Amino acid sequence: MSTASTAPADTPTSAAGDSPMGPSGTGSTTTGASPSTQAASAAATNAPAADASAAATHGRPSMAAAFHQPRSVWAIAFAATVSFMGIGLVDPILPAISEELHASPTQAMLLFTSYLFITAIAMLFTSWIASRMGTRTTLLVGLALIIVFAGLAAAGTSVDEIIALRGGWGLGNALFISTALAAIVGASAGSSAGAIMLYETALGIGMAFGPLLGGLLGSWTWRAPFAGTAVLMALGFIAIMALLPRSAAKPAPVEPTAALRALGDPALRTLACTAVFYNFSFFTLLAYSPFPLSAAAAAHGRELGAMGIGWVFFGWGLGLALTSVVGAPILTRALGLVRTLVATMAGLIAVMLLMAALQSSLAAMVVVIIAGGLLQGIMNTALTETVMEATALPRSVASSAYSGVRFFGGAVSAAVAGPIAAALGAPVPYLVAALAIAVGIVILLTGRGTLHRVTRPHLSAEEEATAITSGDEV
């Protein structure tokens, strides 16, 4: 991912502080902002302003320089990798859970709904929580919740029990992801750009290998991916506890309702509503697709199994990570943000229509799912960058509000795709997803007049990393 050379005058700049930079780690102060707004923004960043400036001015460091980091940075990067693995970890085992626990596909997909619903609510308040507890404590609390609820899910005896436990897992993941980038930048040696490159690498590895790990462990038992997550997160917890020092700085307070009030901004409201409908389609592909994949394999006399589904979504995650980090910044600089969004959403409508039409062909389904991942990676990053550019709000507040609202679309999708398929046929959820994307395009174009601040992205390396993270976190 290339780095913007200089932020424009109206682009907020980083301020020092202890608490997190919003849901994905970026905070800012805005010229002319009130003292209370500046205090909230100052609480939203952990990286020294000089470091962020150096990252933006001098470009990305060499790979060797990026990886020459303190052990505390490596500890956070490891935990972040495992956290991002959780996005696709459950996908390969959904059919197995459905079969072994005598649950319908609809019930199995509620593992996503409970996770996303709690994540959505938590994201609206993570900046306030972290301003009260500090970055290190918020990280550890988030990890502890993931360990506990993932471990309990591995021992679950009914699908309803696991659905409830996934909600607690979502709360922990929201707390951890909202502060991980702030922590990794604050603990870095030298320019923050090197730590950001390491963080992006962790993101890509987690996105790609989560489904593969889920398939590998899930081929033994569906309980193993949950237990594996708990064990790996426990290692991350121990490493962060031992290696990340406490900060002496006291976080500045952030108001509990800051993110909710931010939704009154017309530009942010337009983009958040667009994101709701886009995320509906995103989780239709992610949460529903294992079932038609398995059916297509069975129609050809094959059993895809957890490992087979894991390989398919490994390709999906690899494509998503690649275009999130590399493809999206290139396209948004060439086309501009809004044009990139409209073109990508049009491509995703085509993907959903192909998924609906080609369900009898296993090979075609695999190819289209991977193609969907490539487009979704672009969309995730471009949409979050647009949120950052579109308002004069502190970045932490805008990102928190946007992240909270958009996950509701995914929660609804995972809840209704199964019943729609059962009532109207297996292709219909993809047709509904295509319609949802079309509604998102209409909302974006109708509200384009509110996006007058958006021209081309002018983000520093740190802000680009935040866009990638906020776009891809689940």
User: Taking the CB of residue 47, how many other CB atoms lie within 10 A of it?
Assistant: 28
Q: How confident is the model at residue 189, as a pLDDT? A: 64
Instruction: Decide if pLDDT at 334 tops 80.
Output: yes
Q: Using CA atoms of 294, 120, 344, 331 in order, give the dihedral in degrees to the nearest 10.
A: -120
Instruction: Decide if pLDDT at 328 tops 80.
Output: yes
Instruction: Decide if pLDDT at 112 tops 90.
Output: no
- Look at 179-188, 262-271, 286-295 and tell me which has the smallest mean pLDDT: 179-188
What are the DSSP calls for 399-455, one per residue?
HHHHHHHHHHHHHHHHHHHHHHHHHH-TTHHHHHHHHHHHHHHHHHHHTGGGGTT-S
Residue 185 within a domain: yes
Contact predicate 468/381, CB 8 Å: yes
Q: How confident is the model at residue 62, as a pLDDT? A: 58
Residue 45 within a domain: yes
Output 216 or 394, whichever has higher pLDDT. 216
Residue 342 within a domain: yes
Contact predicate 57/215, CB 8 Å: no
| pLDDT-derived band at 61, boundaries 50, 70, 90 | low
Mean pLDDT across the chain? 79
Number of separate domains in the chain:
1
Q: How confident is the model at residue 9, as a pLDDT? A: 35
The letter for the amino acid at 274 is T
Instruction: Decide if pLDDT at 438 tops 90.
Output: yes
Q: How confident is the model at residue 187, as a pLDDT? A: 76
Output 156 or 392, whichever has higher pLDDT. 156
Separation of CA 148 from chain center: 21
Rounded to whole angstroms, how far apart are CA atoms 181 and 186? 8
Rounded to whole angstroms, how far apart are CA atoms 123 and 402? 9
| Residue 141 phi, psi (nearest 5) | -65, -45
Domain encompassing residue 257: 22-49+68-472
Rounded to whole angstroms, how far apart are CA atoms 405 and 440? 14
Rounded to whole angstroms, how far apart are CA atoms 32 and 37? 10
Contact predicate 250/317, CB 8 Å: no
Share of the chain above pLDDT 70, in %: 78
Instruction: Return the exposure string of 378-407: e unless at least 16 CB atoms fall within 10 Å of the residue's CB, then b.
Output: bbbbbbbbbbbbbbbbbbbbbbbbbbbbbb
Residue 62 within a domain: no
Residue 9 within a domain: no
Residue 6 within a domain: no
Residue 97 within a domain: yes
Rounded to whole angstroms, how far apart are CA atoms 382 and 10? 19
Contact predicate 310/294, CB 8 Å: no
Predicted confidence (pLDDT) per residue in 63-80, tens digit: 566 567 788 888 888 888
Rounded to whole angstroms, how far apart are CA atoms 387 and 70? 32
Q: Global pTM?
A: 0.76
Number of residues written out for the chain: 474
Output 178 or 235, whichever has higher pLDDT. 235
Share of the chain above pLDDT 90, in %: 33
CATH of residue 190: 1.20.1250.20
Residue 262 within a domain: yes
Instruction: Decide if pLDDT at 444 tops 90.
Output: yes
Instruction: Decide if pLDDT at 251 tops 70.
Output: no
Q: Is 244 helix (H, G, I), strand (E, B) or coil?
A: coil
Rounded to whole angstroms, how far apart are CA atoms 92 and 291? 10
Q: Using CA atoms of 89, 92, 95, 100 in order, give the dihedral in degrees to the nearest 10.
A: -70
| Residue 194 phi, psi (nearest 5) | -65, -45
DSSP H helix total and E strand total for the chain: 21, 0
